[in-house]
Structure 1
Amino acid sequence: MFRIRTGWMGVLAGVAAGLVWTAAPVAHAQDRDVVRCGSDDGRFTRCQVPWRDAEMIRQESNSACTRGQTWGVDRGGLWVDRGCRGQFVEMGRGGGYRPPGGGSYPPPGYRPPDNGWRPGPDWDREIRLQCESNDRQYHFCQVDVGGRGDVRMVRQLSGSACEQGYSWGWNRAGVWVSKGCRGLFSVSRRW
C-alpha cells in the first residue's frame, strides 16, 4: 500500500512538473509581447517599445486612458500621461480591446501612421493658444505639438499660480491646465 501511494505521488509530481515546464515558456513568451506603462502621480512617462504603433489591451487605472490625450505613440516611443496606466501590445495584436463603458476603439477617425507620410511645408511653425482652467477644473487644449515640438507659457492670465508640471503641462497631443491656471502658450510644432 505504501509503495502504491509513493508511486502515485511520484506520477502526480512528474505530471505537475511537466505541466509547469511546458506552460512556463508559453506564459513568458506572451509576457514578452506585453508592455506595462503607467503615469505615476499623473506625470508624463515614456516607455520604450520596439513597435511603430501600439494598442491598449487592458486599462489598469481609474484615470481615463484616451489615445492622443493621455496615451499615444510617437518617435520617442509609447507615452502615458495624467494617471493613465495599462498594458499595451503591438498594433493589430490586441484582439479587439474595448474601453470601459463601451465606445469604439480605436476612436473614430484614427488611422495608424503611414510610414511614408510627412506633413506639409507649413507644419513646422509656432502656434499661440490660450488655455484656461475655469472653476479650478482640469482642461485639455488639443493641438498636435509633434515629436520634436515644445511648449512654453508666454503670459500668465490668472491670479492663480501657473507652475509647469503642477498646474500646467503638455504632451504631444496638446496643453493641459488645472487649479485655476490660465495662460497664453506658445507651441513650437516640429515634425
Structure 2
Amino acid sequence: MFDFRIRRMGLLGGLAIGLGAGLLPAAAQAERGYGRGWSGEIVLCESHRGREAWCPADTRGGVRLLRQHSNASCIEGRTWGWDRRGIWVAGGCRAEFAAYGGHPGRGHGRGHGRGRGGAIGIHPVFVTCESHRGRTQWCDAPLGRGGVRLVEQYSRAACIEGRTWGWDRRGIWVADGCRGEFAVY
C-alpha cells in the first residue's frame, strides 16, 4: 500500500546496516544507522503515479526535507506535509525526510497541514527569490516574526531547505538554480 523506508539514527557515528528483508512487509524496508548527537529517523516517503502516500514517523520535534529523489517538485504544504501521525507525499514527490522525534522546541518547526496557511492570526509576506546560473542569491525579507516556508517552486532544480535555500537574519538565500516563492511569517 505505502512505500517507505525508515533509518533510525543513534548517537554513534558509523554506516547504515540493513535489516533482513524478510523481517518487514514488502512495502516497508527499515535500516538502522548511526549519526552524531541526534536521535530521530530518516524516512523515505514516495508518491507513485501521483497518488498520496502516508509514511508513519515520530514527528513530535518536526520534519525537514533532506533529499528530493523525484523529478516532480516536493513543496511543503502542497506535495508533502506532516502531522503527529507521520509524513504524507503526493503528486509524484519522492524524498528523504528527517523526523525529529521527541524533541519539540529544538527549532525544527511545527506540523503543517495542507495549503498555504501559517500560524493562526499571522499573515505571511510573500518573497520571490531566484538563483541564476547556479549562483547564491540573497533576497531581502522581513524576518524575525516566525519563519520561512517555500510555497511555490519555479525552477526545475530542486529547492531543498538547508541545501539550496535557507534563511537567517540577513534574509532568504537560494543557490544551485533554486527559484521560488517563499512565505515569511
* Same fold by TM-score greater than 0.5: no
- Provide TM-score, normalisation by structure 2: 0.39
Structure richer in helix, relative to its length: 1
- Provide TM-score, normalisation by structure 1: 0.38
